[in-house]
Chains A and B, each alone.
Chain A
Amino acid sequence: MSRPLRIAIADDESEIRDHYSKIIKRLGHEVVAEVDTGLALVEACQRLHPDLIITDLHMPGLDGDQAVREVWKTEIIPTILISAYDLPKDFPPDCVKVAWSYLSKPVKRLDFEAAIRATMSM
């Protein structure tokens, strides 16, 4: 592994956040924020400037895709979206050049790990 990453994760289900967090730590990375809403994700990213965002799509209030759009307005942070639902057709916005991946739930650990590597090397 090249360098430890600072990662922000967002999902409204705590079991899932715990799991992501466990895998991430095992890989030697750091979880800098663990949040359960889109708004909290925007706030955490603006404050902590993580290297990577891993977020669910459907969350109370602001959805994951909307939250990262908001984040990308001021800072381009690589992102992995994970959802049981398809991505909205207009995602990602044309004007933004950013490394991003989409995984369909349920996600296996190996695919999750591969997505982190792939997104960071885009």
Chain B
Amino acid sequence: MLQTINDKFGHLRQYLNWTVEDEKHISQIRTILLPFAPVFIEDFYAEIVRHPTIARVITGGDRQIARLKQSLLSWIEGLLSGRYDANYVQRRWKVGYRHVEIGLDQTYVNIAHARLRMQMQCILLEELKKVPDQLRDCEITLHKLLDLDLALISAAYAAELQERQQKQAKQDERLATIGQMITGLAHEARNALQRLRASTESLELDLEDQPATHPDLHRLSVAQDDLTRLFTEVQNYAAPLALERERVEVSHIAQQAWESLDRQRQGRDAQLKMNIPADLNHGEYDAFRLQQVFRNFFENSLAACKDPAILEVTAQPQMIDGQSFVEFRVQDNGPGLSESARLHVFDPFFTTKTKGTGLGMAIALRIVDAHGGRLQLGPAGSTGADFRLLLPRVKHVPSAKDRHRG
């Protein structure tokens, strides 16, 4: 890879007619500009914090800013060093690579580059205004150099971005194939399960008068139930998710999810408390899917909590990146999540239950993603489980019909 880049750089230098003269001018430019490096750097970051889109990619606070100032200094030193060898090329390549990694669009890099160029040019104009010949030479060299530098950084950015996109496409394709395979497998398995079910139930009917066989038949039947449920969940997880949004009341959906667990609640002292302010209770969601999400929370809580189990759903407005969400908190009075559970709770096939497929949370996450929402854990150390379901808040624009009614 590096050889190709070096070759490319060589071609670029030829194309821009980079000569020994330029090497000489660089030395003069360095003497003039290097002392101003701290000024360039201060201006550069002062400008960045004024642009939220760019500042967004800087996530490490002041310490990261300090590190970035250091790398900008290295960049300026490298630029003016006069040594444009493989090492220089490699460092420029890393800049492009890093921008892809942090998700900084090349457009911003181009603009930032332009800003630095402008400042360097101003200093040259000021310092060399009495020697127009030198000014002209230095300006030409500086522009050549900056153009070469930016060409390298953007070539690296484009190459890295393409490589990542190709990798992602391959990964997506692989996942799609696995999904199709699993769906096919589950369907075929269901036919076999139907035969198994048919034979078991036939036996049950034939052996009705032989109670000694009943426990074994019951076990057979339970095993088939478990297998059926596993296939249903795997199919749910693998199948494409198409939402059917309608205007719904979240409290109603949560209540239905709770009621659907009557078998799990049988003989238990379990209570669902709900406190959802009326203005946060309505949204355009897929009722069936959202019920699945709540059911999954409740089922996990019921499995984890000792009696009396108390589950609580509350809601509050939240702003994230300027977008408005409703945050539904689902909390219980159980033991909470272990450190390893916190890390893996949303991974497919992760489970702490003896009888779980481990797909519940992964499916819930898919459903929430499809709604444009987020699924998060409350802070570590909270007592009991604490899940945060964030759904985008869409302002209900009253239709003409609603207004008439009102």
Per-position 1/0 for B56-76, Cβ under 8 A of A: 000000000000000000000
Q: B194 near A106 (CB under 8 angstroms)?
A: yes
Q: Which residue of A lies closest to B232 (CB)?
A: A104
Provide the bound-state CA to CA distance between A84 and B190, in Å.
6
Asked if B187 is an interface residue, CB under 8 A from chain A, the answer is yes
Asked if B11 is an interface residue, CB under 8 A from chain A, the answer is no
Within 8 Å CB of A104, what residues of B?
190
| A 6-23 contacts with B by CB, 8 A | 13, 15-16, 18-20, 22-23
Q: A108 near B194 (CB under 8 angstroms)?
A: no
Q: A18 near B201 (CB under 8 angstroms)?
A: no
Q: B195 near A109 (CB under 8 angstroms)?
A: no
Q: B201 near A109 (CB under 8 angstroms)?
A: yes
Asked if B224 is an interface residue, CB under 8 A from chain A, the answer is yes
The answer to whether residues A107 and B194 also contact, given A15-B199, A19-B199, A84-B187 and a CB cut-off of 8 A, is yes
Per-position 1/0 for B190-217, Cβ under 8 A of A: 1101111111011011000000000000
Within 8 Å CB of A84, what residues of B?
187-188, 190-191, 194
Q: How far is the CB of A19 from chain B (nearest CB, A)?
A: 3
Asked if A73 is an interface residue, CB under 8 A from chain B, the answer is no
Q: A105 near B190 (CB under 8 angstroms)?
A: yes
Within 8 Å CB of B198, what residues of A?
15-16, 18-20
Q: A105 near B205 (CB under 8 angstroms)?
A: no
The answer to whether residues A108 and B197 also contact, given A19-B202, A22-B205, A26-B205 and a CB cut-off of 8 A, is yes
Asked if B255 is an interface residue, CB under 8 A from chain A, the answer is no
Provide the bound-state CA to CA distance between A16 and B341, in Å.
43
Asked if B81 is an interface residue, CB under 8 A from chain A, the answer is no
Provide the bound-state CA to CA distance between A16 and B200, in Å.
11
Q: Which residue of A lies closest to B191 (CB)?
A: A84
Provide the bound-state CA to CA distance between A104 and B190, in Å.
9
B contact residues, range: 10 to 19
Q: Which residue of B lies closest to A11 (CB)?
A: B194
Q: A106 near B202 (CB under 8 angstroms)?
A: no
Within 8 Å CB of A18, what residues of B?
198, 202
Q: Out of B188, B205, B224, which one reaches A106, CB within 8 Å?
A: B224
| B 160-195 contacts with A by CB, 8 A | 187-188, 190-191, 193-195
Within 8 Å CB of B187, what residues of A?
84-85
Provide the bound-state CA to CA distance between A20 and B201, in Å.
10
Provide the bound-state CA to CA distance between A85 and B188, in Å.
9
The answer to whether residues A106 and B199 also contact, given A26-B205, A84-B187, A85-B187 and a CB cut-off of 8 A, is no
Q: B202 near A105 (CB under 8 angstroms)?
A: no
Provide the bound-state CA to CA distance between A85 and B194, in Å.
12
Provide the bound-state CA to CA distance between A106 and B198, in Å.
9
Q: Out of A22, A23, A26, A105, which one reaches B194, CB within 8 Å?
A: A105
Q: How far is the CB of B181 from chain A (nearest CB, A)?
A: 16
Q: How far is the CB of B233 from chain A (nearest CB, A)?
A: 14
Within 8 Å CB of B196, what residues of A?
106
Provide the bound-state CA to CA distance between A20 and B195, in Å.
11
Q: A13 near B195 (CB under 8 angstroms)?
A: yes
Q: Which residue of B lies closest to A110 (CB)?
A: B201
Q: B191 near A105 (CB under 8 angstroms)?
A: yes
Q: How far is the CB of A18 from chain B (nearest CB, A)?
A: 7
Asked if B251 is an interface residue, CB under 8 A from chain A, the answer is no
Most buried by B among A16, A20, A106: A106
Name 24 interchain pairs, CB-CB below 8 A, sorted by A. A13-B194, A15-B198, A16-B194, A16-B195, A18-B202, A20-B198, A23-B201, A23-B205, A26-B205, A84-B187, A84-B188, A84-B190, A105-B190, A105-B191, A105-B193, A105-B194, A106-B190, A106-B193, A106-B196, A106-B197, A106-B228, A107-B194, A108-B201, A109-B204
Which residue numbers of A lie inside 8 Å of B, CB to CB? 13, 15-16, 18-20, 22-23, 26, 84-85, 104-109
What are the nearest 10 A-B pairs in CB distance?
A19-B198, A84-B190, A106-B197, A106-B193, A106-B194, A105-B194, A109-B201, A105-B190, A15-B195, A84-B187
Apart from A19-B198, A106-B228, what are 16 other A-B pairs with CB-CB below 8 Å?
A13-B195, A15-B195, A15-B198, A15-B199, A18-B198, A19-B199, A20-B198, A22-B202, A22-B205, A23-B201, A84-B191, A85-B187, A105-B191, A105-B194, A108-B197, A109-B201
Which residue numbers of B lie inside 8 Å of A, CB to CB? 187-188, 190-191, 193-199, 201-202, 204-205, 224, 228
